Amino acid sequence: MFKVPPLAPQRLQKLLRAMPKAELHIHIEGSLEPELIFALAQRNGVPLPYASVEALRQAYAFTNLQSFLDIYYAGASVLLHEQDFYDMARAYLARAAMDNVAHAEIFFDPQTHTARGVAMEAVINGLHRACEDARAELGISATLILCFLRHLSEASAFETLEQAQPLLGKIVGVGLDSSEVGHPPEKFARVFARCRELGLHLVAHAGEEGPPAYIWSALDVLKVERIDHGVQAVHDAALMQRLAQDRIPLTVCPLSNQKLCVFPDLKDHNLRQLLDAGLCATVNSDDPAYFGGYINENFTQVFAATAMTARHAYQLAFNSFEASFASQADKRVWEHRLKEAFERFVEHD
Ligand SMILES: [Zn+2]
């Protein structure tokens, strides 16, 4: 591992913004800013229960995962056509490039759209075209992960997989999201087994609000390669050991955890504890339009609150590349760029 000297707090904040990084936990529907929601509502003639952009922004006062999800699904109702999905993903990728995201693995929730009569092709083709254009025009690499909504049935997940089957070449994996408590991973054991047969990468949300047992079953029953969130793992020593030993990545989202009251005060966030225990933790934005910050805000705020160091910054960015589903060749390029970014900052200190 590259040796990282300590940096003054202000210099570290600059470095956090400048360093290349991968974002592995971003729900594209959660990147919809109120301005774009209103523009798409107007374009598509969809009525909104909010009088203005400001009124919608003010409604973003969540107390838990469910109160957030209620507004999240209302916002997604403006997405109808392929171009809408393209515009949403393109807006996120432009914003991510500004935060020096070199690679993004983007979650999307097709059931939120197909349930409203939107065709699977419109969803996947729009998002995929945005990823292709962003690679060419912004120099950012981006791939797609289809997420099943865990509050819906296994049958609905299977139906979704079937609809997506002709388009599987445009996605790299599947995930599991939405209301966690009461919907353990094992509910989707057969769906994930089928996805594994199809050669898809597997991830799942587990241990955000739910217990460590959900992380165990995501690993052992669903056989996922990454855990999304996973912050509740600290309550189970054997699980911490397993995650460290097998280098199972956790995609941690500090501002989301704060907004949804998993850690009401960022200074109590356990990211540093996860890293210091040798886990492959990463920093991500989850639903940045709703949780008050894109990836760089997540980095700078959690570092300021928990007094992490330049060594942690390097580890987190390095982990994000290691944990990605990109090619080994791409990973080496990004790791090299990461090292160069750190050397520049250290030299000029
Ligand atoms: Zn999430």
166 Cα–ligand 1 center, Å:
26
128 Cα–ligand 1 center, Å:
20
Residue, of 339 and 349, whose pLDDT is higher: 339
Binding residues for substrate: 287
Helices 154-164 and 120-138 cross at an angle (nearest 10°) of: 60
344 Cα–ligand 1 center, Å:
33
Residue, of 191 and 180, whose pLDDT is higher: 191
Binding residues: 25, 27, 205, 286-287
Supply the pLDDT for residue 224.
Answer: 98
Give the three-state DSSP class for 170: helix
Give the three-state DSSP class for 90: helix
Binding residues for Zn(2+): 25, 27, 205, 286
CB 117 within 8 A of CB 163: no
- pLDDT of 153 > 60? The answer is yes
- pLDDT of 60 > 90? The answer is no
Supply the pTM of this predicted model. 0.96
CATH classification (class only), 9-348: alpha beta
- pLDDT of 348 > 70? The answer is no
- pLDDT of 69 > 90? The answer is no
Least confidently predicted of 27-31, 188-192, 260-264: 260-264
349 Cα–ligand 1 center, Å:
36
- What mean pLDDT, rounded, does the chain reach? 95
Task: Residue 19: name the closest of 287, 308, 318, 328 by CA.
Answer: 318
Distance CA 293, CA 302 (A): 11
Distance CA 31, CA 25 (A): 11
Burial status of residue 237 (CB atoms within 10 A of its CB: 0-12, 13-18, 19 or more): exposed
Tell me the percentage of the chain whose pLDDT exceeds 70: 98
pLDDT tens, 229-243? Answer: 999 999 999 999 999
Supply the pLDDT for residue 260.
Answer: 86
Q: The tokens of 194 are what?
A: 């089928």
In the set 208, 225, 297, 340, the catalytic residue is 208
Alpha helices in the chain (DSSP H): 9-18, 34-44, 53-58, 65-76, 82-98, 110-114, 120-138, 154-164, 189-197, 212-220, 237-245, 254-259, 271-276, 288-291, 295-306, 310-322, 328-347
229 Cα–ligand 1 center, Å:
7
pLDDT tens, 205-217? Answer: 999 999 999 999 9
Distance CA 93, CA 160 (A): 25
Q: Say which DSSP state 166 is in.
A: G
pLDDT tens, 263-316? Answer: 999 999 999 999 999 999 999 999 999 888 999 999 999 999 999 999 999 999
Supply the pLDDT for residue 72.
Answer: 83
107 Cα–ligand 1 center, Å:
8
Active site residue 54: no
